[in-house]
Amino acid sequence: MRVLDTASLVGLEARAWGLGLSQRLDPEWVRATAAPDGVHYLWPALWHDLSHRPDVPRHLRCELLISLRAGERLKSLLDVLPDDFAPLPVLASREEVMEAGRRWENATSVREWLEAEGVRGEA
């Protein structure tokens, strides 16, 4: 499990957006919605290939937990290149990992949150 600050999260979203990866959020939406000093978490879930796009390297599909400005937490997916994932800080203790897992369990998906907010297609 990796931990990110908001600037790193926006950077990863922008990279995924620029590469046209399947799982990503609009970086401007993330910049506007995520807590500026928030802590966000990435869990690698599986390796993903775009067989129809051989120009895009194999990448990790990660589960993502985003901390919002209002204190809420949202879950989503984010495709990340291995070279971008590797240098991200690792959670230091089992307790931190367990706490992040509990936060994930209680989080709302981005899609559900947008629907509840009455927003369509923003992220």
pLDDT tens profile 86-99: 999 998 788 888 88
Q: Residue 90 in 3-state DSSP?
A: strand
What pLDDT was estimated at residue 117?
Answer: 82
| CA 64/CA 40 separation, integer angstroms | 7
Please name which of 75, 66, 71 lies closest in space to residue 8, comparing C-alpha atoms. Answer: 66
Query: pLDDT per residue over 51-69, tens digit each?
Result: 777 787 889 999 999 999 9
Which residues make Cβ contacts (< 8 Å) with residue 29, sequence separation at least 6?
122, 123
pTM of the model: 0.87
Domain ranges of the chain: 2-117
Low-confidence ranges of the chain (pLDDT < 50): none
Contact assessment for residue 76 and residue 66, using Cβ atoms and an 8 Å cutoff: yes
Please name which of 4, 60, 51 lies closest in space to residue 30, comparing C-alpha atoms. Answer: 4
Q: Residue 3 in 3-state DSSP?
A: strand
What pLDDT was estimated at residue 97?
Answer: 84
